[in-house]
Amino acid sequence: MKTEHQRSILNRLKTARGHLDAVVRMVEEDAYCPEVMKQLSAVQGSLERASRIVLRNHLETCVAAAMVAGRTDEIVDELMEALRYDRITTGPGPELALAEELQ
């Protein structure tokens, strides 16, 4: 992993961890639900930004090297499989559809 990406990812993850600890305290203290939801959204945003940096690093390093080595099909398949789990790429999951039905 490129040093600058690793540093950025670790900073974002540590920030998200600290923020999540604060959200846990909010829930334990029975904080107002919309405030908890806002804070959870902020944690998710931090994790999504970290995920994008991981993706960028992968594209700049592993994908580029695999393409140069002629392993394009293999690396594309691997990347497509990994992106199946990325909410930004694949869109909302069934849990969002259920929430919309309840409205």
**Global pTM value:** 0.78
pLDDT per residue of the chain (103 residues) written in tens, 0 to 9: 999 999 999 999 999 999 999 999 999 999 999 999 999 999 999 999 999 999 999 999 999 999 999 999 999 999 999 888 877 666 665 555 555 555 4
What is the Cα–Cα distance from 80 to 38, expressed in whole angstroms?
31
Structure tokens at 12: 């974002």
What is the Cα–Cα distance from 97 to 103, expressed in whole angstroms?
10
Domains in the chain with CATH codes: 3-102 (1.20.58.1000)
Long-range contacts of 23-26 (CB under 8 A, 24+ apart): none
- Farthest-apart Cα atoms in the chain, separation: 56
